[in-house]
Amino acid sequence: MKITEQLLAQWGACSDGKRTFTQKFPEGAEYKEVIAACDEDGYRDYRNWIFTRAFQHLEASEIVEAETNLVPNEIEKGLAPLQLLDSTERKDTDTISKEDNSQLAASGDDSRLAASGFNSQLAASGDDSRLAASGFNSQLAASGFNSQLAASGDDSRLAASGFNSQLAASGDDSRLAASGDDSRLAASGFNNQLAASGFNSRLAASGFNSQLAASGDDSRLAASGDDSRLAASGFNSRLAASGFNSRLAASGFNSQLAASGDDSRLAASGDNSIVASSGLGATFKIGKRGCAAIAYCDEQDRIRFAVAYEGENVEANTLYRVNEKGEFIKVEE
């Protein structure tokens, strides 16, 4: 999807935002290029604004591609402190710092790194490493297998490229990225961003305005905060959101999407997908041979479910809502 100044104007962008965009991209740019530039230049608010607007018009695969393409960059930036090490490996190292602005790095196996000061950076390339930071603006990165990363401060960055990694952040505005299979990512603060490109990944966010993206098959995404965004492009993915105004999108086959909050939007473009919403006011779309169960309030104010089957009472890849008669009404996008 190409972002242009005209499109930003249609979306209601502010004058400063449009000016910044046209200076960077006078001819416009693809969505993934725009968010990458926002990350590089530090425009987090612009990035989140564009993501929210663009989500309504993008396929899940495009969203996930853009988000997961940034995972290697996050990992590369996070591993920069490893350059501080001598060429000799340090095995079985325990490194602890309580000073502000500290940098901790370990290349040996079975290392332990912990920092409680502000603006700390932790990096480990060995297997079975453990990294923990409680200060603000921390950066944690691990490239070895079975790494564990945890950050409780705001604005933290966590990245892992090894299999079976686990990343957890409790502060607001954190960013978690994992490229290995079977990774686990969890964030409890507001406005967090989670991206995983490996198979069988698990992503969970409990804060408002969180963003979750997974490109591997058999991934699981769950968000309990309002206004969350979930996108999956792999097969057999599972997406669940309990907050209001959540957005769920899946492009892989046999995906399952569930939303319990009101005014949610669910989109499944893959074949044989299942969509379910127990919240009122939901809009949805399904792919070929898909089905949906959508809650609605009838003319007697009784809550009921309307069931949609692609090819019978709804068309594939078309956005619908349910009226008070239980009828499926097309919605303009």
> For the chain, which residues make up each domain, given as ranges?
2-57, 73-330
Give dist(CA 57, CA 8) in Å, integer.
13
Give dist(CA 302, CA 20) in Å, integer.
49
Environment class of residue 92 by beta-carbon count within 10 Å: exposed (0-12), middle (13-18) or buried (19+)? exposed
Crossing angle for the helix pair 44-55 and 60-69, to the nearest 10 degrees: 160
Q: Say if residue 312's pLDDT is above 90.
A: yes
Give dist(CA 181, CA 219) in Å, integer.
10
Looking at every residue in the chain, the average pLDDT score rounds to: 82
Crossing angle for the helix pair 15-24 and 31-41, to the nearest 10 degrees: 100
In this predicted structure, what is the pLDDT of residue 266? 92
C-alpha 143: how far from chain center: 20
Query: Across-strand partners of 115?
Result: 97, 133
Contact 210, 193 (CB under 8 A): yes
In this predicted structure, what is the pLDDT of residue 62? 66
Q: Which two tokens stand for residue 168?
A: 């957890």
Q: Say if residue 84's pLDDT is above 60.
A: no
Local confidence band at 86 (pLDDT 50, 70, 90 cut-offs): very low
Q: What is the CA radius of gyration of the chain?
A: 21
Nearest CA among 179, 214, 181, 226 for reference residue 73: 179
Local confidence band at 87 (pLDDT 50, 70, 90 cut-offs): very low
Q: What are phi and psi of 150, to 5 degrees?
A: -145, 135
C-alpha 77: how far from chain center: 19
> What would the mean pLDDT of 7-27 be, rounded to a whole number?
93
C-alpha 313: how far from chain center: 32
**Would you give the DSSP letter of residue 21?**
H
Q: Say if residue 104's pLDDT is above 50.
A: yes
Regarding predicted confidence, which is higher, 248 or 71?
248
Backbone angle region of 327, left / alpha / beta, with phi > 0 → left and psi within -120 to 50 → alpha: beta
Q: Say if residue 135's pLDDT is above 90.
A: no
Reported pTM: 0.75
In this predicted structure, what is the pLDDT of residue 70? 61
Give dist(CA 293, CA 277) in Å, integer.
6
Handedness of CA 83, 85, 86, 92 (dihedral sign): negative
Please tell me the least confidently modeled range out of 29-43, 119-133, 174-188. 119-133
Numbers of helices and strands, H then E, in the chain: 6, 28
Q: What are phi and psi of 284, to 5 degrees?
A: -155, 160
Q: What are phi and psi of 10, to 5 degrees?
A: -65, -35
Please tell me the least confidently modeled range out of 115-129, 142-156, 208-222. 115-129
Q: Say if residue 110's pLDDT is above 50.
A: yes
Crossing angle for the helix pair 60-69 and 31-41, to the nearest 10 degrees: 30
C-alpha 297: how far from chain center: 31
Judged by DSSP in three states, 24 sits in helix
H helical segments located in 270-324: none
Local confidence band at 72 (pLDDT 50, 70, 90 cut-offs): low
Share of the chain above pLDDT 70, in %: 82
Give dist(CA 22, CA 19) in Å, integer.
5
Give dist(CA 184, CA 101) in Å, integer.
28
